[in-house]
Amino acid sequence: MTIPVRVESMNYKNIYLVLLPALLLTGCGTKYTVERPEGNPPVRVIETPEPIEPVEQPRPRIAPTTINPPVEAVQSLPAAVALRDQAAVATSANDHPRAIGLLERALRISPNDPQTFYELALNHLAMQQPQQALQLARRGLTLNPTTAQRQALERLTARSQSML
């Protein structure tokens, strides 16, 4: 059975409408057979190995872990360090609003830097804003500070709480 097809008048999207039925018609008359061996196929016997008894080995002694294991300190990006340096100059000139703006820009560049949080909290405390200073110091404590940074942030937290 042949189907006349005019390719010139058809667009490519409709070609599958002609080819699909033709493919289906050619496949309908095909018989598929599967050869099966007569009788039961041979069974392959797999021997299981004898179980191996575990050898008792001494366990290595592990030192008890500390609550806060030592981890690498956060490295600030150079742009954030430059902004912190500018903020330090503004802080020494008692220009705390400018220092806060610079430190907030530094936080956008390096948001996980506990040193920037410490300096920002310090400037808020100097502007008599202990609530903001407390929040910033607590956030800095959650960011993997070094031992010196942790102690400074804890002292700043205590000062901020005493001013509330």
Retrieve residue 124's tokens.
């808020």
Residues 124, 136: contact at Cβ < 8 Å? Answer: yes
The dihedral through the CA atoms of 85, 148, 123, 100 has a sign that is positive
The closest alpha carbon to 121, from 82, 149, 89, belongs to 149
The model carries a pTM of 0.56
Q: What is the pLDDT along the chain (164 residues), one digit of tens a residue?
A: 566 555 555 555 566 666 666 666 665 555 555 565 666 666 666 676 677 676 677 766 666 555 554 555 667 788 999 999 999 999 999 999 999 999 999 999 999 999 999 999 999 999 999 999 999 999 999 988 889 999 999 999 999 999 88
pLDDT in tens, 90-99: 999 999 999 9
pLDDT in tens, 76-86: 788 999 999 99
Provide DSSP, 124-139.
Answer: HHHTT-HHHHHHHHHH
The string over 41-52, giving b where at least 16 C-beta atoms fall within 10 Å of a residue's C-beta and e elsewhere, is: eeeeeeeeeeee
Residues above pLDDT 90, as percent of the chain: 46
Q: Which domains does the chain have, with CATH numbers?
A: 78-163 (1.25.40.10)
Q: At what angle do helices 130-141 and 147-163 cross, to 10 degrees?
A: 150
Residues 131, 121: contact at Cβ < 8 Å? Answer: no
